[in-house]
Amino acid sequence: MTIELDGVTFTYEHAAEPALSDVSCRIEDGSFVGVTGPTDAGKTTLCRLLPGFVPHFFGGDLDGAIDVRGVDVPESSIGALGDAVGFVFESPADQLTGAATTVLEEVAFGLEQRGVPRDEIERRARERLTEVGVADLADRDPQSLSGGQLQRVAVASVLALDPEVLVLDEPTSQLDPDGTRELFDAVSRMHEAGYTVVLVSHDLQRLAPRADRLLVLEEGRLRADGAPREVLADAALDGTVATPPTVRLGRGLRADGVVPADEPLPLTVQAAAEELRAHATIDGADLPDGGSDSTPAAAGSPSTAGDPRVRLDGVEHVYEGGVEALTDVDLTLDAGCVALLGHNGSGKTTLAKHLNGLLEPTAGRVSVAGADTREQSVADLATHVGLAFQNPDEQLFRPTVRAEVAFGPENLGRDADRAVEAAVEALDLGEVIDESTYELGRAVRKRVAVASVVAMGTDVVVLDEPTGGQDPAGRAVIGRLVDDLVAEGRLVVPITHDVEFAREHADRIVALADGRVVADGPPAAVFGNAEVLDRAGLDPPVAVAVAAELGLSGAPTVADLRAAARPDD
Amino acid sequence: MSEGIVSYRPGEGPIHSLHPITKVVLVVSVIAGAYLAPTPVVVALLAALVAATVVDGVLDAVWRPAVTILLPLGAGLFVIHGLFTRGDGTALTAVGPATVWRAGVEFALATFLVLAAFVLAGLLFVTTTHPKRLMVGLIETGVPRKLGYVFVASLQLVPELQRRARNILDAQRSRGLDTGGSPRERIRALVALFGPLLIGTLVSTQTRSLALEARGFSMEGPRTSLYDLPETTVDHALRLGGVIAVAGLGAWRLL
């Protein structure tokens, strides 16, 4: 038995264009199918077909046939398909039942609805929690869990119903690196245990080695369908999918004649290191010197005479409940792109909220443009510091993109028309400027949220997870924006889990762990220091991991590695 | 997160282990009984409630909200009735130009004791009754399943909405919105808050209803529960005792 889509075209009610056009594919039992492609390519719609959410919840015009393990989806119901197909949503918290006081109750919910005997409910729920590696959370309140823990509870909740197929729609886009790794590992175990897995992600460095097939959707059509290695060999897809760094390195080495062209492309760090070891020699001296210390770098020193734009002296922040979120933080931020890194709960967002006065230090002092933040209102500080939040849904509220972006500059009494025009262009939103923000997808809404802060024209721009949920094109737009703002002389502070992005665009990295600054220096120095990365709970960028695997120090980029690789004779 | 909201406190005490429906019956009995009973009986009832709170080990969770609610209430009662309810005109004492009337103080005391019984019974119920178990108990006695869901879900919605509203306000203030300015500014701030709060809640409700649907919330057929709610002889005795006590007090009143 399999899943079969035959000539499926689906147009949502009130939509002008079909979300899926003539998609045909067959998913064999027990396979792991990765789905990727740009924003609005139809990935979510494809997922929604399998448990019957389309057409039974999201109505519209459906043509073609969908058969899930012998069940005709359009003729069935969501409740009935729930036995065969488990669905994990993007947002960890929204998919909870909202009526469970413990994780065990959450997982038990579906079993209760099916009238499973009581002693079996608890046994099965605990078994599933163990399978996904969160058995120890059984008695916790779901609302107290991290995103990564919640996503695994969500997986356990759908697994409790014994589905044959597990569908996960961008399950890691809101998770930190630890949560992402844990989820991918759990899903891999499910695949090994015999489940059929369909997983949507932009994170091909993690997805490609695990999946046995990769589907690429673009504008509702199936653009590519094959083994990940074969699909990723096609450089024409580079603008469409996030080609993993190891594949880019592998392609380069083949183009340079270092590695024979017929060798399979490396999908993992280990495979990339392995082929370099087998076919090339890299002299550590040919790699740019990253240095090994992590003392504060020159990049953040004041570019002009006078007060630095932002200065933190001995800052401590203890929340009302007694949680110490920041301890003894001394930082001077003045120019360039200073990326703030650290795992969830390390204090990044707490620190960011100190930069514009949303939070005041419980000890120490924060000054912006020379003045103590305690003596100014947030509205006053907004003339100096713009802060874009992680979740666009908690930020956007005006009817159109144009009005939304104009809100900040209007409040500050600045020329809104010009500011809107520039910000909209910088974030590639020209096509949607007069559209309703509510009609846009999350990735585009996120860019609107960033534009609405950039338009304020502040000297300091703080961006919380600016690349979260962005496809390669969106990520490139954000990257260009950061570079342009820095070139204009503004201070840009991205808070990010995206180490590749930080490696590429930051001049300085500040890494936090448990509310303390554990590293502060140029990207090459911080990423080249394994001990610091470990302390901050950060993954190194892929190229750095490849170098480390080869026993090389420093923090090279893919291009550095490629340039330094000398073919063996 | 939910400061100021009294909520369930996990525990193993004797009140915790009562069947939730027994506790519903007892709370209703206490409310009706305190209303009907003469003051000495209300005092005994209060003593019993305090004893139950101590024995069950939730005193530390109950006393602070109880004082917060009862202190201003009691003060108000004594001031208003003490000064303005003359009764037969017997003065208790005089404070400056004001006279404190005996009948007023007696009435205030009686009312206060009744209200204290209400509040204590309510707090004891909330801190010792697991919401999910209560939902299961209610459904077993015939309350519609969806109503039971709404009851428990709404308990969790409040802290979630508070968190969301805080984040939205932070985001708007970061863009120069003055939330503490003129009335016009405040209205603007309110509009900026409610848009995303409503949309965000609708979006998550859509996901939630899909997730519930996929897990079979609307399926036909019998349900089971993770929780076994045993009814002991103590439960039966307490329910019966509560009903008989209220009936007895009612009869005493009528006679």
Partners of B223 on chain A (C-beta within 8 Å) are: 112-113, 115
Separation between Cα atoms, residue A241 and residue B19, nearest integer Å: 57
Query: Sheet holding A324-333: strands in order across?
Result: A324-333, A310-318, A363-368, A371-372
Residue A544, both tokens: 């750095």
Our CA-based measurement puts residue B182 at a distance from the nearest CA of chain A, in whole angstroms, of 13
Q: Which two tokens stand for residue B148?
A: 């039971």
User: Residue A55, preceding bond cis, omega within 30 degrees?
Assistant: yes
pLDDT tens track, chain B, 255 positions: 344 567 888 889 999 999 999 999 999 999 999 999 999 999 999 999 999 999 999 999 999 999 999 999 999 999 999 999 888 888 888 888 888 999 999 999 999 999 999 999 999 999 999 888 998 899 889 888 888 888 888 877 888 888 889 888 898 889 988 777 788 878 877 887 888 888 888 888 888 998 898 888 888 888 899 998 989 999 999 999 999 999 999 999 998
C-alpha–C-alpha distance, residues A308 and A370, integer Å: 7
| Closest chain B C-alpha to A85 CA, distance in angstroms | 9
Q: What is the ipTM of this complex?
A: 0.82
Q: 85-124 in B: which are within 8 Å (CB) of A?
A: none
Give per-residue pLDDT as tens, A93-114. 889 998 888 999 999 999 999 9
pLDDT for B3? 46
Q: How confident is the model at residue A290, as a pLDDT?
A: 52
Q: Give the Cα separation of A385 and A367 in Å (integer).
A: 12
Which amino acid does the sequence have at A407? F
B171: nearest CB among A117, A118, A395 = A395
Amino acid at A389: F
* Neighboring chain B residues of A93 at a CB cutoff of 8 Å: 160, 204
Q: Could you tell me if A165 lies within 8 Å of chain B, comparing CB atoms?
A: no
- Contact status of B218 with chain A (Cβ, < 8 Å): yes
pLDDT given for residue B205 in this prediction: 86
Select from A115, A143, A398 the Cβ nearest to the Cβ of B222: A115
CA-based R_g, chain B, Å: 24
- Say how far apart CA B93 and CA B86 lie, in whole Å: 12
Residues 86-145 of A with CB under 8 A from B: 86-87, 89, 91, 93-102, 104-105, 108-118, 121-122, 125, 143
DSSP string, A296-314: PPGGGS-SSSS--SEEEEE
| A440 token code pair | 């846009």
Closest by CA to A328, choosing from A293, A302, A363, A297, is A363
Residue-level pLDDT at B199: 80
Whether A298 has its CB under 8 Å from any CB of chain B: the answer is: no
- Nearest residue, CB atoms, A99 vs list B149, B180, B224: B149
What does the pLDDT read at residue A292? Answer: 44
Helix, coil or strand: residue A491: strand
In angstroms, the CA A364 to CA A326 distance is 11
Q: Which residues of A350-384 are buried (b: 16+ CB within 10 A; e: fewer)?
A: bbbbbbbbbbebeebebbbbeeebeebebbbbbbb
Query: How many Å apart are CA B157 and CA A99, to the nearest integer?
Result: 9
Contact yes or no for A407 and B218 at CB 8 A? no
Pairwise CB contact (< 8 Å): B214 & A82: yes
Q: Say how far apart CA A518 and CA A330 lie, in whole Å.
A: 11
A118 closest CB neighbour out of B156, B207, B228: B228
Low-confidence spans in chain A with pLDDT less than 50: 291-303
Q: Are B171 and A394 in contact (CB under 8 A)?
A: yes
Cα separation, A306 vs A372, in Å, equals 15
